[in-house]
Amino acid sequence: MNARASAARVLDRVVSGRRSLNDALAVGLHKVADGRERALVQELSYGSLRWYYQLEVMLQHLLNKPLKKRDSDLRCLLLAGLYQLTRMALPSHVAVNETVQAARALDKAWATGLVNAVLRGYQRRKVQLEADVGESPAALYAHPGWLIERLKHDWPDDWEAILQAGNQRPPLSLRVNRQQITRADYLEMLQREGVEATSLLHTSDGIRVGVPVPVSALPGFGAGLVSVQDAAAQQAAGLLELEPGLHVLDACAAPGGKTAHILETEPGLASVTAIDVDERRLQLIEDNLARLGLSARVLHADAAEPDGWCAGHSYERILLDVPCSATGVIRRHPDIKLLRRPADIGPLVTRQTQLLEAMWPLLTAGGMLLYTTCSVLADENERRIGAFLEDHPDAMEQKITASWGRPCAHGRQILPGEDDMDGFYFACMRKQL
Ligand SMILES: C[S@@+](CC[C@H](N)C(=O)[O-])C[C@H]1O[C@@H](n2cnc3c(N)ncnc32)[C@H](O)[C@@H]1O
């Protein structure tokens, strides 16, 4: 299968089919066996989505008339062609010729002339097209307009930096399984394998790999020495103040990154219960724990309806890593720029409120609930917690003091890109005795 045609189909599945990039790539890479071709499909898919709002404006200027709806795959091929010319270090004649050939692989031989004309048009009109991009904020910042407006409102001093961070390539960040190996020893293992890596700022177990590699190239990955996890997500386990003998509930646990870190951090816990409402994702928790040599009670359950599964249990620690807009992790998931819509935020906030309300009664007196999101929107973060504290006199905020992030009216926020971390929000609440 032609890599550029495969990438066009992946993009089309995201742009027209509104599938996630992960799902679309799983299908799209199925028939691409060669490692270099697979890497090219990924690069074109991630890159074209990362810069979609810019490439889209250029394409509109380059097309004499809009393409028909049934040619959405061709439109995506053209976007991938422009991505190669604007952002990839490829000889431009290779980018043009190969993209023209890919039109044939899409069974659209009639469009080879059009693809050639559009891409050559870009080369001729580059300076003017780049000026056109500066005229619309969405194109200039390569993010949807509604999100730019919300960020300006919520982060008047930082919105531009947040948008710039959303366009960066993320680092490969690891968490060493301290039950199996120390960070220093794992860094030495990486060095022996020729993988350049350093300790990750603000973490006890984190490692930053210089040039991202597939996990299969990480020594001992299969044997559970290490997991992939951003430095921001690695803050959760430490904030929970874990001690031997505690009962811990991870209420939105899949794929189990934070569950595993909790178990690695404190092996003497009395119990760890990890639940998720998505049955398919539950298997990911099981797989991760098995690989890492850890165990927890893993349940398919709805955290919003605890009567069905909690059987009167209460917990001294609850981690509530709620479903959210994921606006803090756009650099890792550029499809969010297209898939998330302003109308999604209200229902997400309602869901977050329901989850907080349902979890609070399960917390023991004196216990701590850690609410976390990978969002940068105040509605999902400080305003959510502010409203909850107002409605629950038995909830006391425990202020987070840390070397990372910044304090908010309630809770603490890491903005994306700060110390090269993902955007995350944390708030700790104690239940009064
Ligand atoms: C942000 S992800 C959790 C990431 C996870 N904590 C980790 O660190 O690997 C949110 C998860 O919440 C789950 N979820 C959404 N609604 C839920 C509900 N009502 N009950 C339980 N899980 C839910 C989703 O299926 C998703 O897996």
d(CA 125, CA 123): 6
Residue 152 tokens, joined: 């300006």
| Index of the ligand 1 atom closest to the CA of residue 285 | 9
Q: What is the model's pLDDT at position 1?
A: 78
> Which residue's alpha carbon is at the smallest distance from atom 10 of ligand 1?
323
DSSP 99: H
Q: What is the pLDDT of residue 31?
A: 82
Q: How far apart are CA 228 and CA 220, in angstroms?
A: 13
Q: Which of 230, 239, 265, 277 to mutate to test the pocket of ligand 1 (most atoms within 8 A of CB)?
A: 277
* Domain boundaries 3-138, CATH class: mainly alpha
Site to substitute for ligand 1 among 240, 249, 276, 375, most atoms within 8 A of C-beta:
276
Domain 172-228 coded CATH 2.40.50.430: no
298 CB within 6 A, ligand 1: no
Residues of the chain whose pLDDT is less than 50?
Answer: none
304 CB less than 6 Å from ligand 1? Answer: yes
- Pocket residue to mutate for ligand 1, from 252, 309, 324, most atoms within 8 A of Cβ: 252
Sequence letter at residue 325: S
Which residues of the chain form CATH 3.40.50.150?
235-431
pLDDT score of 196: 95
Q: How much distance in Å is there from the Cα of 254 to the middle of ligand 1? A: 6
Residue 144 beta carbon below 6 angstroms from any ligand 1 atom: no
Q: Which positions are annotated as active-site residues? A: 374
Classify burial at 105, counting beta carbons within 10 Å of its beta carbon; exposed 0-12, middle 13-18, buried 19 or more. middle
321 lines ligand 1 (CB under 6 A): yes
Contacts of 17 (CB under 8 A, 6+ apart): 24
CA–centroid distance, residue 183 to ligand 1 (Å): 28
User: Would you state the pLDDT for residue 32?
Assistant: 87
Contact 116, 100 (CB under 8 A): yes
Per-residue confidence (pLDDT) for residue 33, from 0 to 100? 84
Ramachandran area for residue 195 (φ above 0: left; ψ -120 to 50: alpha; else beta) = beta
Q: Is 257 in the pocket of ligand 1 (CB under 6 A)?
A: yes
DSSP string, 281-299: HHHHHHHHHHHHT---EEE
Residues of the chain with CATH 1.10.940.10: 3-138
User: Does the C-beta of 254 come closer than 6 Å to ligand 1?
Assistant: yes
Superfamily of domain covering 235-431: Vaccinia Virus protein VP39 (3.40.50.150)
Of all atoms in ligand 1, which is nearest to the CA of residue 233? Answer: 8
Going 255 to 257 to 261 to 262, the CA torsion angle's sign is: negative
CA of 352 to the centre of ligand 1 (A): 11
Pick from 363, 354, 356: which is nearest to 248 by CA?
363
The pLDDT tens digits for 360-405 are 999 999 999 999 999 999 999 999 999 999 999 999 999 999 999 9
